[in-house]
């Protein structure tokens, strides 16, 4: 939950200034990695970053992918795999011998406001909750089907849930 606080604060600040950014979230790991699923990093339109998704070996490349996702206006899944012996790019002996999948979610105008409201709502809950994000869908997906970046906030054991699209304001 520690990441939620700084994510909410940074999103609110960028939204207040009319900016745009990409939310990068580790969604899956295998093997040895510095950060676990749920680790977050924000990448501003100018490439500046807040937070980390690794021990420092992935952030610069991820910022380039984030810029592309922001320009395309579409979520993207980026995979880094340093397990192969012939991996000369990521297998640099930096303490990683695993796979990291990172979801990039571009946030601008309406989607930035919705994400800010959602993360703020998560902070306001006085009970355990789970924030789930769609990372992949079968193609072709029918109209109205969930898409990468859609979120679901599950607030209690009875699975009370509000389906939240990336461009929707969450229910109170």
Please give the sequence-ordered ranges of beta strands (E in DSSP) within the chain, or none if there are none.
20-32, 40-44, 49-51, 76-81, 97-108, 130-133, 151-154, 161-164
Confidence of residue 164 (pLDDT cuts 50, 70, 90): very low
Confidence of residue 146 (pLDDT cuts 50, 70, 90): confident
pLDDT for the residue 25: 92
User: Is residue 95 a part of any domain in this protein?
Assistant: yes
pLDDT for the residue 33: 85
Distance CA 76, CA 23 (A): 11
Lowest mean pLDDT among 1-15, 35-49, 77-91, 140-154: 77-91
User: Is residue 124 a part of any domain in this protein?
Assistant: no
User: Is residue 98 a part of any domain in this protein?
Assistant: yes
User: Is residue 117 a part of any domain in this protein?
Assistant: no
167: left (phi over 0), alpha (psi -120 to 50) or beta: alpha
Place of tokens 């509000």: 162
Domains contained in the chain, number: 1
User: Is residue 157 a part of any domain in this protein?
Assistant: no
User: Is residue 17 a part of any domain in this protein?
Assistant: yes
pLDDT, tens only, 3-58: 788 888 898 998 898 889 999 999 999 988 888 888 999 999 888 899 999 888 88
User: Is residue 10 a part of any domain in this protein?
Assistant: yes
Q: Which two tokens stand for residue 86?
A: 């012939």
Angle in degrees, CA 77, 32, 91, rounded to 5: 75
Confidence of residue 161 (pLDDT cuts 50, 70, 90): very low
Residue 83's domain spans which residues?
2-109
Look over the chain and give the mean of its residue pLDDT values, rounded to a whole number: 79
User: Is residue 129 a part of any domain in this protein?
Assistant: no
């Amino acid at each position: 939950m520690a990441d939620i606080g700084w994510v909410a604060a940074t999103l609110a600040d960028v939204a207040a200034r009319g900016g745009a950014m990409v939310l990068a979230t580790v969604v899956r790991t295998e093997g040895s990695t510095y950060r676990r699923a749920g680790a977050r990093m924000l990448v501003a339109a100018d490439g500046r970053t807040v937070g980390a998704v690794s021990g420092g070996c992935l952030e610069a490349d991820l910022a380039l992918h984030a810029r592309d996702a922001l320009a395309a206006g579409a979520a993207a899944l980026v995979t880094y795999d340093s397990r192969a012996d012939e991996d000369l790019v990521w297998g640099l002996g930096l303490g990683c011998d695993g796979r990291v999948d990172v979801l990039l979610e571009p946030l601008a105008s309406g989607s930035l406001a919705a994400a800010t409201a959602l993360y703020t709502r998560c902070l306001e809950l006085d009970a355990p909750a789970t924030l789930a994000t769609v990372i992949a869908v079968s193609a072709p997906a029918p109209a109205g089907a969930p898409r990468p970046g859609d979120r679901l906030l599950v607030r209690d054991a009875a699975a009370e849930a509000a389906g939240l699209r990336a461009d929707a304001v969450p229910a109170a």
